[in-house]
Structure 1
């Protein structure tokens, strides 16, 4: 698993870790049922506190991305990530609202914003080797 953290970022380390793992799942670099490093192992490998990794893993577990077994360890949810429901759609709306408001203030028009979203979306949905 390839994790790149920005220790100078305003974004907390555990959030960066959560986002990196979700990106790995979205890009199918991490497959359902695939084992992830233990909390101690990952913390040691990337040089962060094990409580930070634990916090990230707990968030991922709560959101349905991973399962934590006593014997098997940490695995990507073998059943896949739960599909979007109304609650998730409400969360997406709440996260997009301030981004769109700031974009409007900065004179980024709807077409430019939509194009950025489309480009990012295709980054996660295109298969390996596609252009």
Structure 2
């Protein structure tokens, strides 16, 4: 897995790391049980503070995407999203889609973009992949 950070981006570095790891899980690059680099190693690779990496990993842990353990480090450990996640996700998607429509994107283009993004991850959820 290759991660990159844009130090000039308005998106915080911890959020960039978190988002790229989520995308790697969605694409199947990272699967259940995959190990992630240690916070110190990843921080050293990017020349950033290890607390920044720790914040990204903690977000992923809170969201049920990784497990943190002193012995094994950070490991992908997918848990069932459940109803609260679905409700929150739907609200976020609604706002993002509303923004696209409010900015004048035609519904057909929005749907085509959604399909294209989903296809880039593969349409099969990670737990159903062979």
Whether these two folds match at TM > 0.5 is yes
1:4 paired to 2:4: yes
Give matches, 1:47-66, under 5 Å.
47-66=47-66
Aligned length: 124
Runs of 5+ consecutive residues of structure 2 not aligned to the other structure: 125-130
Deviations 1:44-81 (A, max 9, x none): 0122110100000001111111111111111111xxx2
Q: Tell me which residue corresponds to 2:41.
A: 41
Q: Tell me which residue corresponds to 1:97.
A: 94
**TM-score in terms of structure 2 length:** 0.87
Runs of 5+ consecutive residues of structure 1 not aligned to the other structure: none
**TM-score in terms of structure 1 length:** 0.86
Question: How far apart in 2 are the matches of 1:32 and 1:96?
Answer: 26
Q: CA RMSD in A?
A: 1.6
Shift >4 Å, 4+ stretches: none
Report the CA distance between 1:126 and its aligned residue.
5.7
Report the CA distance between 1:82 and its aligned residue.
2.4
